[in-house]
Structure 1
């Protein structure tokens, strides 16, 4: 079990297992947010204080990116697609630095090809 949260502590996240890999995406939103994403099954994640978040839904309206209303940290995203309840992303930057240091960082070309650049 790993535990983390936003800067002010209003949003707390628990995930059953630490990620072995995280994704550094260069799409128009991720490159601005600076998050490192991992994708546990939603049943493996407990979010305390999600009501303290605001969701931003961008252009293609497939994801709701949640950030803390108080400190602004982007904590996670949820799928808005039909049947997408099995998909979510958690920002690994909400956890202690050693969590990210222990994970492989994968670079995803979300701006163009949707291929991993390190394959």
Structure 2
């Protein structure tokens, strides 16, 4: 059926970390897809997101270890390691998506994105998947 993901199974939890290891994440459930968005921020960051509920994702970092960036409607806060500059995750801080998060699956083990299934999302114009 159109729009349905056909992901394989990956070993859970999914672990990832920034380049220097100061910020790490654990995703307890498999996302429906590894999503690459073409909006201006995601394209600039070069991320592939694994989306989930905040309760299914834990981020470990010392206080102040990340820089937080929001723009536009300020609903999402993108987090980047202060030391190495890797973008690790975003969290919805207000609006309809509050309670949702995504982690940058490019920071997980090689093969994770392919095992989950890589999808392209048009966040620049149509807000639909392109496949």
TM-score (norm 1): 0.91
Q: Secondary structure at the match of 2:43?
A: helix
Is 2:124 aligned against 1:111? yes
Report the Cα offset of residue 62 of structure 1.
1.4
TM-score (norm 2): 0.83
Q: How many residue pairs were aligned?
A: 118
* Structure having the larger proportion of residues in helix: 1
Number of the residue aligned with 1:95: 108
Q: Which residue of the other structure, out of 32, 42, 51, is the alignment partner of 1:30?
A: 42
Unaligned runs of 5+ in 2: 1-12
Following the alignment from structure 1 to structure 2, what is the Cα–Cα distance between the partners of residues 83 and 113? 19
Unaligned runs of 5+ in 1: none
The structure 1 segments of at least 4 consecutive aligned residues displaced by more than 6 Å after TM superposition are none
Q: Which residue of the other structure, out of 14, 18, 29, is the alignment partner of 2:26?
A: 14
Report the Cα offset of residue 84 of structure 1.
3.8
Q: Which residue of the other structure, out of 65, 74, 88, is the alignment partner of 2:87?
A: 74
CA RMSD of superposed structures (Å): 1.5
**Mean alpha-carbon deviation: is it higher for 80-89 or for 104-113?**
80-89
**C-alpha contact 1:19 1:99 (8 A) present in aligned 2:** no
